[in-house]
Amino acid sequence: MALARRGGIGRYYDVNGWLFVAPALGLIGLFMVYPIFWSLWMSFQAGRGMMMKFAGFANIIRLWNDPVFIKALTNTMTYFIVQVPIMIMLALILASILNNPRLVGRAFFRTAIFLPCVTSLVAYAVLFKGMFALDGIVNSTLQALGIIASPIPWQTHPFWAKALVIIAITWRWTGYNMIFYLAALQNIDRSIYEVARIDGVPAWARFTHITIPLLKPVILFTTVISTIGTLQLFDEVYNLTEGKGGPSNATLTLSLYIYNLTFRFMPNFGYAATVSYVIVVFVAILAFLQFFLARERDK
Amino acid sequence: MRASPANIASAVLTYGFVGLMAFLSVFPFIWMALGATNSSIDIIKGKLAPGEALATNIANFFTLVNVPLVFWNSAKVTIFATVLTLAVSSLAGYGFEIFRSRHRERLYRAMLLTLMIPFAALMIPLFIMMGKMGLINTHIAVVLPTIGSAFIVFYFRQSTKAFPSELRDAAKVDGLKEWQIFFYIYVPVMRSTYAAAFIIVFMTAWNNYLWPLIVLQSNETKTITLVISSLASAYYPDYGVVMVGTILATLPTLAVFFFMQRQFVQGMLGSIK
């Protein structure tokens, strides 16, 4: 074993071990750890472009008086609170249906529902923009079916623009979450379901009393992943609403606001860094909650 | 199962539900394919039949976009990101398993913590860093920050636990050095792990949008996702042309997915075990 002895005090250094992990740790350190501290330092500075000077808590105070920030924060939270539960429920129901080996054509259904994951965020956002145009196919279909009387202004009405973003992300990510549940379901002994079925437990009760409790760790995992994803939402909103954040900022997200502050408006790196730290804080809180819940479960 | 009315009703409900979901999932793809054959006006009207404008749309797309260049840009970025990420991450994944330092788990946990860092909090420092290194508008700047991926290292380490240690011991007895064990034994044995990681990294790199949008500013360096996005955000977008573009942008990942579907699903499963 390639252990090098140093200093003669009996301490061993694993040269190979270090060499194997060094490139990855070096890159992560340089492009993730170092920038995250840099942006923390930046968030205490103010100024235009590269002319920055220490500003204490001025940026943080500015947050509370910035209606655009409040709007972006509210929108991001709305997406998170509305979209994540819808998607997780949908993915769970689909996974438990498609886990049934008696279902005819389940390979086809799985592939079909998973397919959206393969597209790029930009390509599907562009497709959705066309489909949900005022005179687009969705409105004309809904009108032909008699569900709506007049076309829905999906891209110009604050409420519908948000709904469109939610529909779009749900379309893209439900299959992705479903795969995780299918994987976890395969580790569950199918005889549990058979016994329950023979005992006359109805499908819905099997779902709520067997599937959900057994999948709890995976549900937590996907919830955290989706939460982080939603907090970082950018591509869809940027491409569905022409980069502006929708009618009067109705779809603006925190990430898009940071982008605007940095690259669209007069660059204000310090304030943009402060806004980005709001996301860091939220991710940290939610991650902590997840660990907390996981610990509670182990008790 | 007996064909009681209740069973029939539940079957209709089940198949109706998954059928509808499958249809909704696939429909945008169908719409995209049909759209490529229709004129912009027909697409907006919601025409759902093949048209005759395919040749025109393709021709217009090729006039508007320097297709070989844009594809080459995307391919370059994707290939470099994929090869380098797999190399660096598999080394680390293997390294963390053979590591004999008492700092190992601490380092590993610290690395996993970086999974929590949102990209929005990194993009300004990264942009300034790239500026200082004179890399703005280069593909190096696109690839560089994506190579060190804690997620792929995690994935390789999880999979390395299944790598038989007998193989390693036997190789050591034969006098192979650690790097030889890695190249001659580990890499070939872990083929399927590499395949799954390949798909994940390939798709991420090909579809990457926000970071390239920031660093690639000239038309000569832009990747296909950036070009599609700018075509679609024109004041009067030609949807026929946009459809041709989205198809071309989606084809590589669709092809990778269909050719390597089994590994892809296994890769996703492997990451949560």
Lowest mean pLDDT among A48-52, B99-103, B127-131: A48-52
Min distance B48 CA to chain A CA atoms (Å): 9
Interchain contact B251–A (C-beta under 8 A): no
Report the share of chain B in percent with pLDDT over 90.
Answer: 40
Residue-range domain boundaries for chain B: 3-58, 63-268
Q: Is residue B127 classed as helix, strand or coil in its secondary structure?
A: helix
Q: Which is more confidently placed, A118 or B25?
A: B25
Residues on chain A touching B95 (C-beta within 8 angstroms): 16-21, 24
Categorize the per-residue pLDDT at B62 as very low, low, confident or very high, splitting at 50, 70 and 90: very high
Q: Tell the residue number behind the tokens 């389940």, with chain if given.
A: A106
- Interchain CB distance below 8 Å, B25 and A35: no
Q: Best of B23, B25, B80, B149 to disrupt the A interface by mutation (most A CBs within 10 Å)?
A: B25
- Entry field: residues in chain A: 299
A207 touches chain B (CB under 8 A): no
Kindly report, residue by residue over B135-159, the tens digit of the pLDDT.
Answer: 999 999 999 999 999 989 998 998 8
Confidence of residue A10 (pLDDT cuts 50, 70, 90): very low
- pLDDT tens for A142-188 read 888 888 888 888 888 889 989 999 999 999 999 989 988 988 888 77
Q: Looking at residue B46, what is its pLDDT?
A: 74
| Candidate from A17, A123, A228 with C-beta closest to B99 | A17
How long is chain B?
273
- In chain A, domain spans: 7-57, 59-294
To 10 degrees, what angle do helices B5-35 and A106-114 make? 40
pLDDT at B265: 67
**SS3 for A14?**
strand
Ranked by mean pLDDT, the top range of A18-27, A46-55, A234-243 is: A18-27
Residue range A27-52: mean pLDDT, rounded: 85
Residue B31 forms contact with A (CB below 8 Å): yes
Q: Answer whether CATH 2.40.50.180 is correct for domain A59-294.
A: no
Between B100 and B145, the more confident residue is B145
Report the candidate in B57, B42, B63 with the shortest Cα–Cα distance to residue B241: B57
Q: Is B172 on the interface with A (CB under 8 A)?
A: yes
Burial zone of B266 (CB within 10 Å; 0-12 exposed, 13-18 middle, 19+ buried): middle
> Which pair of tokens denotes residue B3?
């064909």
The closest alpha carbon to A69, from A256, A246, A240, belongs to: A256
Give the separation between CA B101 and CA B99, rounded to whole angstroms: 6
pTM, two decimals, is 0.86
Alpha-carbon gap, residue A236 to A83, rounded angstroms: 14
- Spatial separation of the C-alpha atoms in residues A283 and B128, rounded to whole Å: 24
DSSP A46: E
Q: What pLDDT, on a 0 to 100 scale, did the predictor assign at position A7? A: 44
Q: Any CB–CB contact under 8 A between B158 and chain A?
A: no
* pLDDT classification of A200: cutoffs 50, 70, 90: confident
Q: Measured in whole angstroms, how far is the alpha carbon of residue A70 from the centre of its chain? A: 20
Interface predicted TM-score of the whole assembly (ipTM), two decimals = 0.87
Which H/E stretch holds residue B213? Answer: helix B210-215
The CA distance from B127 to B139, in Å, is 13
Is the pLDDT assigned to residue A220 strictly greater than 60? yes
pLDDT digits (tens, 9 = 90+) for A40-55: 998 888 766 666 677 7
| pLDDT tens per residue, range B224-266 | 999 988 888 877 788 889 899 999 999 998 888 888 877 766 6
Write out chain A residues lying below 8 Å of B177, CB-based. 2
Instruction: For chain A, give the longest Cα–Cα distance.
Output: 85
% of chain A beyond a pLDDT of 90: 24
Partner residue facing A137 (CB), from B23, B46, B228 = B46
Q: Say how many C-beta atoms besides its own lie within 10 A of residue A210's C-beta.
A: 17
Q: Is A252 on the interface with B (CB under 8 A)?
A: no
pLDDT confidence tier of residue A297, bands split at 50, 70 and 90: low
Best residue in B89, B123, B258 for a mutation probing chain A (most A CBs within 10 Å): B123
Q: Which residues of B touch A2 (CB under 8 A)?
A: 177-178
**Residue A2, pLDDT above cutoff 70:** no
* pLDDT (average), residues A88-114: 89
Question: Quick count: other Cβ atoms within 10 Å of Cβ A8?
Answer: 6
| Domain B63-268 bears CATH identifier 1.20.930.40 | no
Q: What's the token pair of residue B238?
A: 């030609």
Contacts with B, A 256-285, CB within 8 Å: 258-259, 262-263, 269, 272-273, 276-277, 279-280, 283-284
A210 CB near a chain B CB, below 8 Å?
Answer: no
To the nearest whole number, what is the mean pLDDT of chain B?
Answer: 87
Residue B223 has pLDDT above 90, yes or no: yes
For residue A125, give the H/E element and its range.
Answer: helix A121-131
Tell me: pLDDT of A205 over 50. Answer: yes
